[in-house]
Structure 1
Amino acid sequence: MSDETRPSRTAAVIPAAGRGVRLGPGAPKALRALNGTPMLIHAVRAMAASRSVSLVVVVAPPDEASAAEVKTLLADHALPGGTPSGSWGRTDFVVVPGGETRQESVKLGLDALPPGIDVVLVHDAARPLVPVDTVDGVIEAVREGAPAVVPALLLADTVKQVEARTDGGPELVVATPERARLRAVQTPQGFDRATLVRAHETVTDNVTDDASMVEQLGEPVVVVPGHEEAFKVTRPLDLVLAEAVLARRRANDGF
């Protein structure tokens, strides 16, 4: 089968090695319970809900014991039709140990991808409630030719640029960016696989997201509509909001 006729396959990489100190003491952030189920499981299910995603690579904390724990967790929560050996129905999963930084962890996840994957999603485990329509929208934009795609929202608040201080004192405002030109970026971010691999081989600075690495290559990054439920669970109040979203889904959709 030629490259032109071979169907495009999509994999999702979920870095889940962070401690999540802002959520307070306890288990790593990705393993915190949300409606009785670890956030990581919600995030994997969100990726597997897309019919386009055939593989999910979960990047666990660096030690082998944590990777084994995550693998067991995924098997225990497998959806009907899956097997304990590594699949949830039509979507397979792989668990690999991560690195010391998010960038290292994503690179290790990329290294675990098999041949035949053309589109790669990178998704935060701390965004467990992203709707499948958002996931599909990112994938579609990559398949239509964009090398990098990010879902994003318009900003509701005015944003100020300041002279940052680390001592907690008042900070001087130096500019007010035009809000209409700003977006709050979410995940999953989607990429042409070759472009993302090249970014991780070329950009050595630790950056906050993979799209900015592609930007440093000089490649275009495009924005598609995000969703308000794809927020990042970072602080205790976010857990309360996430529980409320799940309760509404159960009431409305039987989720």
Structure 2
Amino acid sequence: MVVAAGSGSRLGAGLPKAFVPLAGVPLLGHALREVLSCAAVAQVVLVVPDTHRAQAEELTDGVCRELGSGATVTVVPGGAERGDSVAAGLRVLGDDIDIVLVHDAARCLTPVEVFDRVVDAVTAGAVAVVPGTAVVDTIKQVDGEGYVVGTPARSGLRAVQTPQGFRRDVLERAHAVSSDATDDAGLVERLGERVLVVEGDPRALKVTTRSDLETATRLLTETP
């Protein structure tokens, strides 16, 4: 599942973030190429703003032809919040799908190797898997007034990325309880399930601001 329903207001591009061009191709197009390059992917659900369904379908057709992909791709409208969009995507998954990857189109340069690591870990028995990278900055926890109340050890911290992978029944159970979280792993954590972290990749940055878009452009040109 690729979540691409965000407004992208911080990019200031005047259109939904997933359709902002990166080197002439919408972010969603770059994301789709990596998703469809993962051999384990049998079905892709794109969750997009209802106003851009036709554009998403046209983009999808082009990428599928380019890659010669036989994966089934379904485009559905997103909801008011991210959790609503993921729930909408879950509702149209085929009955034969038992492992679900949830990916943000804004992390459009996530390499296929990260998808493979996540899939392999769920297949090996983990019920929830997220890619992550080591935190290099010192992190301070602050209270409501801005005063520091703690300094967690960096060795135990990870900056989490997508795709996040789940056993389908666990993800559906988590969304049945609540869809209110910044990521799906957070919902699964509330069930008391363990979430495994596998190695992420610096290229999986989230494009949120103009500066991020410039960084992504540079990464794209540096990618062999």
TM bracket (short chain): over 0.9
Offset, 1:23 = 1.1
Relative distance call for 1:17 and 1:188 in structure 2 (3 A) is same
Question: Are the equivalent residues in 2 in contact too, given 1:149–1:223 (CA < 8 A)?
Answer: yes
Identical-residue share of aligned pairs (%): 48
From 61, 65, 86, give the equivalent of 1:75.
Answer: 61
CA RMSD of aligned residues (A): 1.4
Match of 1:40 among 25, 28, 36: 28
Aligned residue runs from structure 1 range 120-135, under 5 A: 120-135=100-115
In the alignment, which residue of structure 2 is the partner of 1:196? 171
Normalising by structure 1, what TM-score?
Answer: 0.84
Unmatched tracts of structure 2, length 5 or more? none
> Which structure is larger by alpha-carbon Rg, 1 or 2?
1
Name the SS of the counterpart of 1:201 in structure 2: helix
Give the counterpart letter for 2:66 in structure 1.
P
Q: Deviations over 1:18-69 (max 9, x none)?
A: 11111114111110001100001111111111111111100011x3x42223
Structure 1 segments (4+ residues) deviating >6 Å = none
Does residue 140 of structure 2 align to residue 182 of structure 1? no
Shift of 1:81: 6.1
Given the alignment of the two structures, is residue 59 of structure 1 paired with residue 47 of structure 2, yes or no? Answer: yes
Specify the alignment match of 1:144 in structure 2: 124
Give 1:118's aligned residue: 98
Amino acid at match of 1:15: V
Q: Give the distance between the partners of 1:19 and 1:134, measured in 2 at CA.
A: 26
Q: Structure 1: give runs of 5+ residues left out of the alignment.
A: 1-12, 83-88, 166-170
Q: Does 1:210 align with 2:190?
A: no
For 1:228, which of 198, 202, 205 is the aligned residue? Answer: 202
Deviations 1:164-199 (A, max 9, x none): 46xxxxx32221111111110000000001111111
Q: Is the contact between residue 129 and residue 198 of structure 2 (CA under 8 Å) also seen in structure 1?
A: yes
Distance 1:14 1:54 in 2: 13
Correspondence for 1:153 = 133
Structure 1 residue identity aligned to 2:31? A
Number of aligned residue pairs: 224
8 Å Cα contact 1:203-1:216 kept in structure 2: no
Aligned partner of residue 126 in structure 2, secondary structure:
coil
Structure 1 residue 96: Cα displacement: 0.5
TM-score by length of 2: 0.95
How many angstroms apart in 2 are the aligned matches of 1:232 and 1:133?
Answer: 17
The structure richer in helix per residue is: 2
Closer, same or farther in 2 for the Cα pair 1:134/1:209, shift >3 Å? same
| Aligned partner of 2:220 among 229, 242, 246 | 246
User: Residue deviations 1:190-241, cap 9 Å, x none?
Assistant: 000111111111225x110000111111111111010111110111111111
